[in-house]
Amino acid sequence: MPRCDSILAVLSGFEPNNTPDVGTFYDFLNRFWLEDDDVQTQRRKRLVKPSRKPSKRLKPGEKLPVKHPGIVEKLVAYAVKGRDPFPLRAKRLIHLVFARCVVYRSLQLGLIPHPLDLVLAGDGTSVRTGASHYGARVCDCRKNGVLNCDCPLRFSDPQAR
């Protein structure tokens, strides 16, 4: 937690000049995250082929073709059945804590006056990271004079792409 942000410190329950170090946060998150350390390590070390921009330019008013047709129907059917959206995923516990500690408490305090009329928007990430979405090259192509190669990349955060 940044010590320079006194509002964030107070909202988190700390005094502005008495916040824990960043290492404490990462230690807490590692204990909190419901995923095996070996799985996380293997995911971070996995190499991924770089994705290229589409070569064809779209005309004005044209849209890209749908990559996954029917995905919305599948998600709606999944939600209508009442199934848990995060059954065994690591982020499930973080969602539960956020719901119980932040959302429910905000409802009790009246900070969310009309919860049924509430519209939310988000980018779909559970935990925002500062990881680069460009990846790190693990090849020797630059030493050989090849600047734009198609060799696999390594991402420190698999969700950074």
Tell me: the pLDDT tens digits for 27-59?
777 777 767 778 778 877 888 777 776 667 788
> Residues of 118-131 as b/e, b for ≥16 C-beta within 10 angstroms?
eeeeeeeeeeeeee
Task: Give this prediction's pTM.
Answer: 0.36
Q: What percent of the chain has pLDDT over 70?
A: 73
**Residue 24 pLDDT > 60, yes or no?**
yes
pLDDT (average), residues 88-103? 76
Please give the average per-residue pLDDT across 125-150, as a whole number: 76
Torsion of CA 98, 104, 106, 111, to 10 degrees: 130
